[in-house]
Homo-oligomer: A and B are copies of this chain.
């Protein structure tokens, strides 16, 4: 049933300006034939089984595309986008589909542009410290190539084993080490972009400084609503000489939060400051046992990196601070093997929580670091109020609180309670001067919370910017901003 959307029909009919203008099967076949001509018949997927596979990402959002194309070059992407424009069909860029906020879901049908075949590292330029990659390059694949040369690309989202640089750029991804090194936008120098008009453009520069307005910054984090970035020029830096990891476990969640505050107050800037709560530790131990005691309330990971000298002192200082707020146990990992062991629980956290619980809503509200103790307290109230369990994993240094709200979708009313708890968390974050996303994007899931952060006028200004590039509203529609109709 081409032209019809799965799952979100109500939304589609109120939002889908393009929809009413489109024809039925005939038009659809013409579109498909045009796509065949551009990327080749076997790179256009249209069977129900294929379309079902592409009807979701890692969020709970669903929406089935009418076709999936697998282009192999920027020119092919441009051709596909031109066809979509001609027929007023939405296009949805997609990388590995690890999006946690619904950004890669075909909410209004249309053509998913899956960039997985564009996975070449085009250039590694060590003296100028930059790498040029295609959008479909997997983050960790790039890291592994760079590591052989003693370099790294700093952003390290938890999904880095599968998520792509294109997706990281679209979502402005963070990661544990972004506390010290900054999120994706701080590491993107230039982009090759296919605009919704089908034009190919180059934004930014591979050197510092670019005259005019910061279009690279504007595109980064715009979740495909400004077009499709197909190539990225990234800043790369030498790997630190050394790294040490401190793991501490606590009988009180607040104590872990205090340790974070004191480490920051001591003037240190660790590469990572991560907290996991008891619910997460229990999930990890049940799924991928690491030998952690499950009767503790919090685990804190601190990573320090830099020159060899000074690392010991920094790690010891962090360990002392943890002991000073009554850590039950503190370990320091110095070798890669020791460090991997200490990180194991953290790296397994999301998977373990998802594995043990049939339903899970993930959110990444971010709050000022100093408000964390209050937020943790009030989050316990939210858990009680909605009779729901929240497994917490925090990029604590950044105040970025990943609350994984666990529920059983077969139990009546439980999903609704989970959604009410999510809303309460976002309201709480906004109230204390925080925001509704640290690194997962707005996608479709958080659109209804945008009004917690933005006035109507703010949203209209953003829409006006988006419409400069996408006057027809075909670039990943239904993402980031509330529908124009809904906000009028």
Q: A interface vs B, CB < 8 Å? A: 125-129, 150, 172, 174, 178, 182-183, 185-186, 199, 201, 205-215, 217-218, 220-222, 237-239, 241, 261, 264-265, 267-269, 306-310, 313-314, 364, 366-370, 398-400, 433-439, 441-442, 446, 449-450, 453-454, 457-459, 461-462, 464-466, 468-469, 480-481
Q: Tell me whether B207 and A367 are in contact (CB under 8 A).
A: yes
Q: Which of B183, B206, B458, B468 contacts A201 (CB 8 A)?
A: B458
Q: Tell me whether A442 and B128 are in contact (CB under 8 A).
A: no
* Residues of B close to A454: CB separation below 8 A: 211-212
* Residues of B close to A261: CB separation below 8 A: 127
* Residues of B close to A208: CB separation below 8 A: 174, 178, 183, 366, 398-400, 438-439
26 sampled A-B residue pairs with Cβ under 8 A: A127-B265, A128-B368, A128-B370, A183-B209, A186-B186, A201-B457, A205-B435, A205-B453, A207-B366, A207-B399, A208-B366, A209-B435, A209-B438, A209-B439, A210-B437, A211-B437, A211-B449, A211-B450, A212-B453, A213-B218, A214-B214, A214-B217, A307-B309, A309-B309, A461-B468, A465-B468
Query: How many copies of this chain sit in the oligomeric assembly?
Result: 2
Main SS at interface, chain A: loop
* Residues of B close to A213: CB separation below 8 A: 218, 221-222, 462, 465-466, 480
Q: Give 14 new A-B contacts, CB below 8 A, not counting A210-B435, A213-B218.
A: A127-B265, A128-B370, A178-B208, A201-B457, A201-B458, A205-B434, A207-B399, A208-B438, A211-B454, A212-B450, A212-B459, A238-B267, A238-B269, A464-B468
* Residues of B close to A469: CB separation below 8 A: 461
Q: Which of B307, B369, B399 contacts A307 (CB 8 A)?
A: B307
Given A218-B217, A368-B128, verify A442-B207 contact (CB < 8 Å).
no
Task: Give Cα distance in the complex from A220 to B209, angstroms.
Answer: 12
Q: Tell me whether B464 and A185 are in contact (CB under 8 A).
A: no
Task: Give Cα distance in the complex from A466 to B465, angstroms.
Answer: 9
Given A127-B261, A129-B264, A435-B205, verify A212-B309 contact (CB < 8 Å).
no
Q: Tell me whether A368 and B453 are in contact (CB under 8 A).
A: no
Given A150-B267, A269-B237, A309-B313, verify A214-B218 contact (CB < 8 Å).
yes
* Residues of B close to A309: CB separation below 8 A: 307, 309-310, 313
Q: Tell me whether B457 and A211 are in contact (CB under 8 A).
A: no
Task: Give Cα distance in the complex from A126 to B264, angstroms.
Answer: 9
Q: Tell me whether B307 and A212 are in contact (CB under 8 A).
A: no
* Residues of B close to A215: CB separation below 8 A: 461-462, 465
* Residues of B close to A436: CB separation below 8 A: 211
Given A201-B457, A206-B433, A269-B238, verify A462-B212 contact (CB < 8 Å).
yes
Q: Tell me whether B462 and A209 are in contact (CB under 8 A).
A: no
* Residues of B close to A265: CB separation below 8 A: 126-127
Task: Give Cα distance in the complex from A468 to B467, angstroms.
Answer: 10
* Residues of B close to A178: CB separation below 8 A: 208
* Shortest Cβ gap from A124 to chain B (Å): 13
Q: Tell me whether A369 and B217 are in contact (CB under 8 A).
A: no
* Residues of B close to A468: CB separation below 8 A: 461, 464-465, 468
In the complex, what residue of chain B is closest to A432 when comparing beta carbons?
Answer: B207
Task: Give Cα distance in the complex from A48 to B442, angstroms.
Answer: 53
Q: Which 10 A-B pairs have the closest CB atoms?
A: A217-B217, A309-B309, A307-B310, A209-B438, A309-B310, A238-B267, A208-B398, A464-B468, A209-B366, A211-B442
In the complex, what residue of chain B is closest to A237 when comparing beta carbons?
Answer: B269
Task: Give Cα distance in the complex from A206 to B368, angstroms.
Answer: 7
Task: Give Cα distance in the complex from A300 to B241, angstroms.
Answer: 25
In the complex, what residue of chain B is closest to A459 when comparing beta carbons?
Answer: B212
Q: Tell me whether A368 and B450 are in contact (CB under 8 A).
A: no
* Residues of B close to A220: CB separation below 8 A: 214
* Residues of B close to A446: CB separation below 8 A: 211
In the complex, what residue of chain B is closest to A399 when comparing beta carbons?
Answer: B207
Task: Give Cα distance in the complex from A201 to B459, angstroms.
Answer: 11
* Residues of B close to A201: CB separation below 8 A: 457-458, 461
In the complex, what residue of chain B is closest to A179 when comparing beta carbons?
Answer: B208
Task: Give Cα distance in the complex from A464 to B465, angstroms.
Answer: 9
Q: Tell me whether B310 and A314 are in contact (CB under 8 A).
A: no
Q: Tell me whether A435 and B207 are in contact (CB under 8 A).
A: yes
